[in-house]
Structure 1
């Protein structure tokens, strides 16, 4: 019985941590640029950084319009709890499991079609997290295929990134 309480408390603590960072379920339905869903592992959630000189970001089509994606077409997101030009990420602890940072090995990451200012900040582990217009960008672990935008609007704190580096919040009636 004691073992079950420990497991239950762990699950409750993990759920609370994910909810605090916006890792709960969102209000948007899973959608891809192709209109399908896939079951493969998210290409963008790899812990390896994009090599120096490689295009880290580009723009691509989605149900929300043209957005910023990584070189593999995986959507990237802003977190409204981040502070512009602070040099730090507000997504820490359990949040990072649901919202992995977009990493690079280059201090000046390449971006095709992105007109916002692209740079990096240091993660607590000493890696380089990509920023756009002074805000860190992230993947959503539940996005499984290029074009997925399942993280859009999660807990009203996670939003897609537009090509100019703007946060894409849906209008009252949707896109």
Structure 2
């Protein structure tokens, strides 16, 4: 952060910054409290990038958990992990149970929508820290999805890529 020079700057984000979320507090207590953390600058705990890592960790663990429930508690293949991600559904109650309420919004991923629901929020720099200044905002999928589809189709045609289908996405589940 640029300190006072950036005061008032507003940014869009998929996860909020801050260290007051229960999952962040648990990491501080369990990991750093036990002297096991390797973050040299502890003031970075709760930063945008630190919290992005926490959210990514949650999504990875939950996707693997879902895949292991389907394919067994063993080492998974890449296709099986992808299947887990493509069935990742974290509703608000689950996000709260994970200690991440308001850190990120619910997410509902599918084989043809890897963004989930696409919620974002805005945060503003006050010279010392980021502050969330909006509710969670859903994208206008009626406007965006056709643009995404058209771009994806053009890219696939240009690169000679066969687009996946629902059957392709579920094929891994049928073979296991």
TM-score, normalising length from structure 2?
Answer: 0.22
Structure with larger Rg: 2
TM-score, normalising length from structure 1?
Answer: 0.22
Higher helix share: 2
Higher strand share: 1
